[in-house]
Amino acid sequence: METRSQSLQPTIQPFHDSKTPDVKQGGGEHKPRIAVYPGSFDPVTYGHLDIIHRSANLFDRVVIAVTQNVGKAPFLDLDERLDLLREVTKDIDEVEVTSFGGLLVDFARSIGASIVIRGLRAVSDFEFELQMALTNRSLDPNLETIFLTPRGKFIFLSSGLVRELCLLDGPLERFVPDSVARVLRRKREELRARP
């Protein structure tokens, strides 16, 4: 007969599948866990920053990778996006900022990253994010995508919304750090000054 203490024993066996990367390297020599957080960051928002802080608490190194090939013409130049990201993350030791072209899986491999971080906000993000995660997995089964959710107040915040607010002279400071707001306004004035 099963005793009470036996019935409290966990019945779920630790999951191990040789095709699934070992996210947390347990025991022995600690292998640094490197995560890549890719995106357009056009511009970086408080929502991104929330995800960056969460990632820095989870991983040894977080490489923020700004894509060079956005498809659409970006609002901010690549260098502006990189400079702003470096400025707003300068106090987070685990973080570094760089750019990449080509496939994310190739970039991740080149820096030894085994994790891709993506922020997941409302349900509307889900389909695209799932598609991207599954595509990346089929391209490289050793690369795991992890979704993090920002604080509730940032759930509906997006770079697109910030760009629109900027172009329509809306308030920016509650959505992006001051340094980002300044660059956005300067960019807006540059655009307006164009013939």
Q: Report the 10 Å Cβ neighbour count for 54.
A: 17
Tell me which of 36, 38, 81, 184 binds ligand PNS, using CB under 6 A: 38
Give bridge partners of residue 96 from the DSSP assignment.
63
Among 58, 111, 132, 146, binds ligand PNS (CB under 6 A): 132
The residue annotated as part of the active site, out of 61, 118, 159, 163, is: 159
> Smallest distance, Å, CB 1 to ligand PNS?
54
What SS3 state is found at 26?
A: coil
The verdict on 119 binding ligand PNS (CB under 6 A) reads: no
33, 61, 118, 121: which is the annotated catalytic residue?
121
Per CB under 6 A, 150 contacts ligand PNS: no
For tokens 């995106």, the residue is 39
- By C-beta, is 104 or 172 nearer to ligand PNS? 104
182 part of the active site: no
Q: For residue 72, give the amino acid letter.
A: K
Residue with smaller CB distance to ligand PNS, 55 or 136? 136
Cα gap 190→144, rounded to integer Å:
41
Instruction: At 89, list the tokens.
Output: 């993350």
> Which residue in the list 48, 61, 81, 118 is annotated as catalytic?
48
Q: Which of 92, 103, 111, 165 binds ligand PNS (CB under 6 A)?
A: 103
| HEC sequence for 118-159 | EECCCHHHHHHHHHHHHHHHHHCCCCEEEEECCCHHHCCCCH
List of residues contacting ligand PNS (CB under 6 A): 38-40, 67, 103-104, 132, 135-136
